[in-house]
Amino acid sequence: MKSSAVHTGERCRELAIDVSDYLDGELSVTRAERLERHLAGCECCAGFAESLRRAIATCRAAGRTALPRTVQARARRRVRELLGTEARGRT
Amino acid sequence: MGPAAHSAVTKSDSAHPDRRGTAAEIAGADDYAALVRAAASGDEAAMETLLMRAQEVAFRFSSLVCGHAEDAEDVMQDALLRAYRHVDRIREPEAFRGWLYRTVRNACLMKRRRRVDEPRHMLSIDELLPTPEGVRTLQVPDPGHGPEASAINAALRQRLDRALSALPPLYRVVVFLRDVEGLSTREAAHVVGASEATVKQRLHRGRLFLRKALGEAR
Q: Check pLDDT > 50 for residue B194.
A: yes
* CA A25/CA B182 separation, integer angstroms: 14
How many CB contacts within 8 angstroms connect chain A with chain B? 179
Lowest mean pLDDT among A14-28, B65-79, B113-127, B153-167: B113-127
Lowest mean pLDDT among A17-26, A28-37, A42-51, B144-153: B144-153
Q: Check pLDDT > 50 for residue B217.
A: no
Q: Is B206 exposed, middle or buried (0-12, 13-18, 19+ CB in 10 A)?
A: buried
Q: Check pLDDT > 50 for residue A50.
A: yes
Between B9 and A61, where is the model more confident? Answer: A61
**How many CA within 13 A on the CB side of residue B136?**
17
Between B178 and A86, where is the model more confident? Answer: B178
In this complex, do A67 and B59 lie within 8 Å of one another by their Cβ atoms?
yes
Which pLDDT band holds residue B117 (cuts at 50, 70, 90)? very low
- Residues of chain B neighbouring A43 (CB-CB closer than 8 A): 135
Q: What is the mean pLDDT of chain B?
A: 75
Q: Check pLDDT > 60 for residue A71.
A: yes
Q: Check pLDDT > 90 for residue B82.
A: yes
In this complex, do A65 and B23 lie within 8 Å of one another by their Cβ atoms?
yes
Q: Which of B13, B63, B156 to mutate: most A Cβ within 10 Å?
A: B156
**How many CA within 13 A on the CB side of residue B152?**
15
Amino acid A52: pLDDT: 92
SS3 call for A66: coil
Query: By CA distance, what is B74's nearest residue in A?
Result: A75
Q: Provide mean pLDDT across the span B30-52.
A: 92
Percentage of residues of chain A with pLDDT beyond 70 = 85
* Residue numbers of B between 67 and 86 with CB closer than 8 Å to A: 72-73, 76-77, 80-81, 84
CA angle (B28 as vertex; B23, B34 as ends), nearest 5: 110
Under 8 Å CB-to-CB from B133, ≥6 apart: which residues?
A: none
* CA B66/CA B104 separation, integer angstroms: 11
In this complex, do B135 and A51 lie within 8 Å of one another by their Cβ atoms?
yes
Q: For the complex shown, is ipTM > 0.90?
A: no
Q: What are phi and psi of B213, to 5 degrees?
A: -65, -40
Under 8 Å CB-to-CB from B136, ≥6 apart: which residues?
A: A51, B215, B218
Amino acid B99: pLDDT: 93
Q: Check pLDDT > 90 for residue B47.
A: yes
Amino acid B165: pLDDT: 87
* CA B131/CA B150 separation, integer angstroms: 35
